[in-house]
Structure 1
Amino acid sequence: MLTVYEGFFLNLCVLISSLFLYKQLFRKSYEEYHTTCMSLFRGFLAGFLGVVLMNFSISTGVNSIIDLRIIPLMLVVLYSDWISASVTATMIIITRFMIGVNSQSFSNVIFILVSWAVFHYFTKRIRNRWVCIAVMLGLSSLTYTLLVIFIPSTKSLNISLLINYWVVSILGGMISVYMMDYLTKSEQLFRQNKNFAFTDPLTGLNNVRSFDIAFNKAKRRQITTNESISIMLLDIDFFKQVNDTYGHLEGDVVLKKLAAILKSSQGPEDVVSRNGGEEFSVLIHDCTLKEANKRAEAMRKIVENSFFVINNGTKSIHITVSIGFTTYNDTTKEIDQLYDNADQALYAAKKSGRNRVCFYSQSSSLVN
């Protein structure tokens, strides 16, 4: 058997490695994985970890060993549900009976069940997380102590065993919860930053990077399908006046409302993006020039007739948008020129009076 220090270090390594591997398997939040099958699987993994920890028992003296089997049970109570906890507890109990059927195995059943009840009870009643963990681990260790006293494995009470168990159990439990929280928060931050890398944080639309990725995919797809591709650029007319009159926070409200209108109007394969400031784009697959013109005009009218409520609902304003678009290969013959040609059409729409739609034409430069 391992000495106390060696065994504790090895058990911590096993726990931390297992938690890291678990977070690689379950990258999403508990709510996203909340199914019976996944609960059973989580319980099995925790139960298996408990069995492994039983195998790495820590020697505390002559004929006295301890292990950290209780920590996986505590973790599933904290981070999963009763189904997972049931599976974990059952696996630990069965494994202990497989080692031998005696008074100590029955003592293990009592210890596991009482600890499970303690974990479940205090998890729901103590809001301060670390106070809750300390109480749970303390009462679990107290249960272990009482069982050692009343169902002794030797004729004399092993004080060293009890002291070592309290220290190892509480430290191991605290470190495990800290690592689990740390890995969970790290994963959440990673997902958040990954989302921000491709999503505009204000409107929730795709950002420029996402637009570029979608456009490159559309180009590769076009080679196979030979379909038409349209790009529509929208710009809010006189948006600076909105910011100057009502403030930038209210301007953000307008941008979010316009983004919501674009989302509700998009087709199943459309890619709607905020390309910066008050400029938005719509990448439309399999769309001819005539269809794109119809959709752009419909969009212009929807925005013109919509109310934009600002100042906490006390005022509503109207805005208009100018729209420029082009279609490959109706009006644009070089697919890489789609965005630039749409931008030229947008410039023409704004220059010719705003609140209108213009499309790009190679033959006559720009057409209203």
Structure 2
Amino acid sequence: MQTFKDFLINISLLTSFLFLYTQLYKRHPLEKIQLPMKIVMGASAGILGVILMNFSIQVTEETIIDLRNIPLILSVLYGGWLPGLITTVFIVVFRFLIGFNISSIAAAILIATMYIGFVLIKRKQMSLYNKTFWFTLYSCITSTIVFIYLIQDLVVLVRIVVLFWTSSFFAAFAMVYLLNYLRQSYALLKQYEEASTTDFLTGLGNVRQFDEMYNQVLQQTIEKKEELSFMMLDIDYFKRVNDTYGHKEGDEILKQISAILKYQARSFDFVSRNGGEEFSIVMPDTPVEKAKQLAERIRIEVEQNQFILTTEQSINITISIGISHYPTVQDPIHLIHFADQALYKSKSAGRNCVTVYQSIENNINS
């Protein structure tokens, strides 16, 4: 009965460690894992193997048994040969630290044999759960051969083999299922978060994200006593585009305009779609002249660009832009309002131009 409890402790440790690992490294997708994360994965699985050996079952004076095969299975299954090699080294080194004897030598050969077999099986084209099955079966067969060599008591041997096979298959499939479940849950959560802050059509920030970012930048600007420029853009005669070509083509124009804005904006600028054909760019620590230069580059590129519709027809589009600047506007809370006024001036002046708000009485058009 105690042997069963020990295997149960191993499974509990596996579950707890796996949950902790996914919480710490959930932002690193396993499908695109880079070298540093492969090293971390291998080391983490190796540490888990070491922990499991600290809660192993003492079968004889020299022989201990645990589920250290499961961390190695997960390491190779999800990471490949490098994480698996690191995990193998961790487990082998720690096993020799526990004691150098015939059992530790057999255990080292066993874990190395498992590693080689796992790497070869992983190359086969099969589903994740099929690989899990063959990994586990291979580890159980090789382990059983070593058990037969080390354990002389037939009753103990049979009990250990039955519990090891049962626990290994249960733990392997449970851990793979749990890991996939946690990954899918996080991916779904991330998708919901992005959907709540990203404009579905253009991929730019939506109104909700704009409000959060704008208030955050505004606070930092005041605290650091920096400049802040704000740009509002509107597509000229966009309703005419929708009426002439249809809303589907209008959406295509919005996507192409968004691509231009993302390309022209700097890495620290925040570009958003504020609704309909209206866009904005928050430009932290930016003098008004630089903001105006950026606005002109955007305006000229849009004017010169050939916008391709889904029908392969090309049309020309222009935009009107309004800019406000802090501390030209003494109260930064009113930046949006004054940028909107400047945008209105651009439209009143004939569109396809940039207006910088300076004061209620004095505006500069270009």
TM range (shorter): 0.7 to 0.9
Q: Distance in 2 between matches of 1:130 and 1:287?
A: 54
Percent of paired sites with the same residue: 39
Q: Distance in 2 between matches of 1:112 and 1:202?
A: 52
**Contact preservation (8 Å) 1:234, 1:346:** yes
Partner AA of 2:139 in structure 1: S
Which residue pairs with 2:169 in the alignment?
Answer: 170
* Code of the aligned partner of 1:349: S
Cα distance, 1:31 vs structure 2: 7.0
Query: Of residues 340, 361, 364 in structure 2, which corresponds to 1:364?
Result: 361
Partner of 1:124: 123
Mapping 1:217-228, distance limit 5 Å = 217-223=216-222, 226-228=225-227
Q: Cα–Cα, structure 1 residues 249 and 143, in superposed 2: closer, same or farther, change >3 Å?
A: farther
For each residue in 1:303-350, what CA deviation from the matched residue of structure 2 results, as whole angstroms up to 9, or x when unmatched?
1110112217x22222121222223343x3332111012123323433
* 1:341 alignment partner, one of 338, 343, 347: 338
Does the C-alpha gap of structure 1 residues 218 and 142 become closer, same or farther in structure 2, counting only changes over 3 Å?
closer
Change (3 A) 1:294 1:109: closer
How many Å separate the matches in 1 of 2:35 and 2:101? 37
Q: Secondary structure at the match of 1:154?
A: coil
Measured in 1, the distance between the counterparts of 2:310 and 2:18 equals 48
Q: After TM superposition, list the pairs within 5 Å mapping 1:60-99 onto structure 2.
A: 66-99=65-98
**Alpha-carbon shift at residue 83 of structure 1 (Å):** 2.9
Matches within 5 A, 1:1-368: 2-4=2-4, 6-27=5-26, 28-30=28-30, 34-35=34-35, 38-58=37-57, 66-149=65-148, 151-154=149-152, 156=154, 158-223=157-222, 226-311=225-310, 314-330=312-328, 332-351=329-348, 353-360=350-357, 362-364=359-361, 368=365
Determine the C-alpha separation between the residues in 1 that align with 2:126 and 2:116.
Answer: 17
Q: CA deviation at 1:213?
A: 3.5
State the one-letter code of the partner of 1:132: K
Amino acid at match of 1:146: I
Gaps of 5+ in 1: none
Q: What is the CA deviation profile of residues 217-262 of structure 1, one whole-angstrom value per residue up to 9, with x for unaligned ones?
A: 4433443554443221111123234344444443333222211211
Counterpart AA for 2:361 = S
Cα gap change, 1:328 to 1:63, in 2 (>3 Å):
closer
Deviates more, 1:299-308 or 1:206-215: 206-215
Aligned residue identity for 1:320: T
Q: Aligned pair count?
A: 363
Structure 1 residue 113: deviation in Å? 2.0
**For each residue in 1:245-298, what CA deviation from the matched residue of structure 2 results, as whole angstroms up to 9, or x when unmatched?**
444443333222211211222245432222122211122345455554444344
- Deviation, 1:30, is 4.5
Deviations 1:82-134 (A, max 9, x none): 33222221222233334444443333233212221222122221331111111
Q: How far off is 1:65 after superposition?
A: 6.5
Is the contact between residue 60 and residue 164 of structure 1 (CA under 8 Å) also seen in structure 2? no
CA RMSD of aligned residues (A): 3.1
Partner Cα separation in structure 2 for residue 224 and residue 91 of structure 1: 49
More displaced 10-residue stretch of structure 1: 61-70 or 319-328: 61-70
TM-score computed with the length of structure 1 as normaliser: 0.85
Task: Look up the equivalent residue of 1:188 and give its one-letter code.
Answer: A
Give deviations 1:43-87, integer Å, cap 9, x for gaps: 232122112212323589999964211001111112224332222
Q: What is the rounded CA distance, in whole Å, between the counterparts of 2:238 and 2:249 in structure 1?
A: 11
Q: Using the alignment, how far apart are the partners of 2:309 and 2:62 within structure 1?
A: 75
Provide the C-alpha distance between the structure 1 equivalents of 2:285 and 2:110, rounded to a whole number of angstroms.
66
Distance 2:183 2:193 in 1: 15
Q: How far is the alpha carbon of 1:33 from its aligned partner?
A: 5.9
Shift of 1:175: 0.7
Measured in 2, the distance between the counterparts of 1:59 and 1:245 equals 81
Q: Is the alpha carbon distance of 1:61 and 1:225 closer, same or farther for their aligned partners in structure 2, counting shifts above 3 Å?
A: closer
Distance 2:358 2:39 in 1: 62
Opposite residue 272 of structure 1, the aligned amino acid is V
CA distance in 1, matches of 2:136, 2:244: 59
Q: Tell me, in whole angstroms, the C-alpha distance in 1 between the residues paired with 2:242 and 2:273.
A: 18
